[in-house]
Amino acid sequence: MLRSRRFAFISSVVVLGLASTGCGDDQRISGSSSTIAAATPPVIRVGSGSGAVSPTVSEADSKMMAPYGQTVYIYDGELPELGGTARAWRFPIGAEPDSERIAAIARVLGVEGEVRSLPVDQGGGWMVGSADYSGANLSVSMDGMLSWWFSPSPDVWGSGVACAEPDYAPLDTTPETSVDSTVEETWCEEPLPPANVPDEAAARQMAEGLFAELGYDVTILDFEAYADEWGANVAAYVLLDGERSPMSMSVGFGAEGVVTWASGFLAEPEVVGEYPLVGAPAGLLRLQDETGRWMWYGVTTLDAAASDTPVERIATDTVPGDTVPMEVFEIHLVGVHLGLTMVWDIDGTVWLLPAYVFTTAESGEFAVVGIEDGFIELPEGIPVPEPLPAEGG
């Protein structure tokens, strides 16, 4: 169980800033400088399993996945151009982690044992601690980011209140016997929230202390915290050129401020170069394209001006033998800025590419790759959802 003076509760209020703070051109994650690449940037060959060319939407917008749900994006106001060029980063595949760094992270998190390599049939990578998860362990994957995950000892979560199994009477299915059975009702005591869970401000300060102790430069991390009576979670987003990137680390806190889980990465991104941008108007067209090229959703794109209904409309789509209603949702966008989105190359390289991030009045965000087509090779045969039958499906 991990306890530390750094994780003592903080009584002072910490203001949680969701906006990125400027850090100039500082590209450091843990203190070392990134490599500057050649002037001509390479072409990204998107792997068939990559979902990064699709927008980064919330779970609430998962309706876009439905074959007969259509989403149309409408930009309210004058759309800026946002052309020119923008910088990209990457995590090349095949990077080897520093075993001493893994061991140091394990010590801070209270994981005992030596750093050992895992065989390919176990997923590869590296591990410290309990292999069967009966105790605390730290695992590091072989992906381009060298992602790591900390799992505490099971006693951190507590035993809770267990319910006894219902006592079912033996069931005799012979014709002379009724098939009815009796069940002895069992009542479970409702579990109580853990004691002394940190609030958002305390959790953020505790997370800053933890990641500093793990060897990260917290001055280029943008922290975002959430807490309720059951636990506190903190995400730490890396700032690149002063902007929040998709790279994030996280930590959870439970009773008495104990760390219940944590994750991060060991690799550092290298600067690739400047990519030419298509401009925000073309980015909006990519956002509208639900044929599969950029959005990876297989429904027909409709003209947003085709109906007078401002919020949602009903269109029709035809499958063999039937005309099926298709609900159309309008999402109104109020702003756009340049950001980054994560894309996986076919060879496993992780890319951080310039993206147009469109925002809604409710703080929703939709991001789409912003570099010119000539620098992106999308896979052949992007999957399209099978149509549902009109009746009886």
pLDDT at 348 (0 to 100): 82
> Which of 308, 246, 269 lies closest to 30, judged by CA?
269
What length does the chain have?
Answer: 393
Global pTM value: 0.67
Q: How far apart are the first and last CA of the chain?
A: 51
pLDDT at 4 (0 to 100): 36
d(CA 17, CA 26): 19
Lowest mean pLDDT among 26-30, 114-118, 173-177, 241-245: 26-30
Reading phi first (left if > 0) and then psi (alpha if -120 to 50, else beta), residue 59 is in alpha
Tokens of 298: 């297989």
Mean pLDDT across the chain: 74
Report the SS3 class of residue 158.
coil
The predicted model gives 205-223 an average pLDDT of 96
Which position has the token pair 């108007």? Answer: 281
The residues facing 350 across adjacent strands are 91, 344
Q: What is the identity of the amino acid at 196? A: N
The predicted model gives 22-41 an average pLDDT of 47
Spell out the residues 6+ positions from residue 304 whose beta carbon is closer than 8 angstroms to its own.
72, 73, 74, 288, 330
